[in-house]
Amino acid sequence: MSLKTIAFYNQKGGVGKTTLAVNFAYLGARNGFRTLLWDLDPQASATFIMRVDEKLAPKAKDILGKNVELEDLAVRSNFTNLHVVPASIRLRLLSERIFENSKPSSVIERATKSARSTFDLIVVDAPPSLNALSDSLLGAIDLLCIPLQPSALSAHSLEALVTHLKSASLLNRSIAIYNMVDMRRISHRQAVQNREAAKCLQLLDVVLPYSADMERMATERNPFFELHSRSNVGKALEEMYSSLSEALFNPSKAPKAK
């Protein structure tokens, strides 16, 4: 099996990308894939949820090295088949260092390729920014998942991202998903039903509802499926995993833009 890489990313913060990345990685490992969760966000939220010490996070220079080996930067998690490359505030300079690199576009690609013999799946929790790091990351992945909130600000932010993805010819490798949706709110229902915010993008049919249990992931420092929750979020997360996995491993069956 060839290595596949998926990133959860949106230049707008607060859209729930970290919780989706953590749960996708957890489900990938649970389904037998040798999975690496790569936290590239200096806020280190995924690292925190996975109970990995930030002191073990690599420095920017460790990732930039020509002989970088992600396996050497990875820390074993509490779950079978799941490793983590942790983040810390020290990664805040990574984008600047990548920009200064002689071949900035190849930095992340070089690092991911180093993991081909060790992992089947790399899941990246990307920082919410458009810069040299995001450009290097977007060019190195097989699939981009863009979490969206059903709000005017989220739609406005998405316009700039779509323009950027078009210019980089990445729309065909990008899939959006509505997250933290409260169908009791008229604006949320209208956004989901009209699908206007995700125009030009592939959009998953599954909608992830707002749930306090997703917030519990941070307080209990565990993936959703370890929280013993009775909410319907688990089913939606599994549907998200199934759809994204199909798009990742069988691109011809990926959802099409509507």
Does residue 72 sit within a domain?
yes
58 occurs within a structural domain: yes
* CA atoms of 165 and 140, how far apart (whole Å): 13
Q: Taking Cα atoms as reference points, which of 200, 152, 210 lies closest to residue 178?
A: 210
First to last CA, the chain: 31
List all residues 6 or more positions away from 13 whose beta carbon is below 8 Å from its beta carbon. Answer: 128
Domain range enclosing 130: 4-253
192 in any annotated domain: yes
What's the pLDDT score for residue 252? 61
Q: What is the CATH number of the domain that holds 126?
A: 3.40.50.300
Within a domain: residue 159? yes
Number of domains, the chain: 1
79-131 pLDDT, tens digit each:
999 999 999 998 888 888 888 876 777 889 989 999 999 999 999 999 998 88
Least confident range from 5-19, 198-212, 235-249: namely: 198-212
Sign of the Cα pseudo-torsion (175, 158, 162, 223, in order): negative
Note whether 47 and 4 are within 8 A (CB).
no
Does 78 fall in a domain?
yes
Number of Cβ atoms within 10 Å of the Cβ of 159: 12
Q: Find how far residue 29's CA is from the centre of its chain.
A: 15
Q: Which two tokens stand for residue 253?
A: 């069956």
Q: Is residue 258 included in any domain, yes or no?
A: no
Specify if 98 maps to a domain: yes
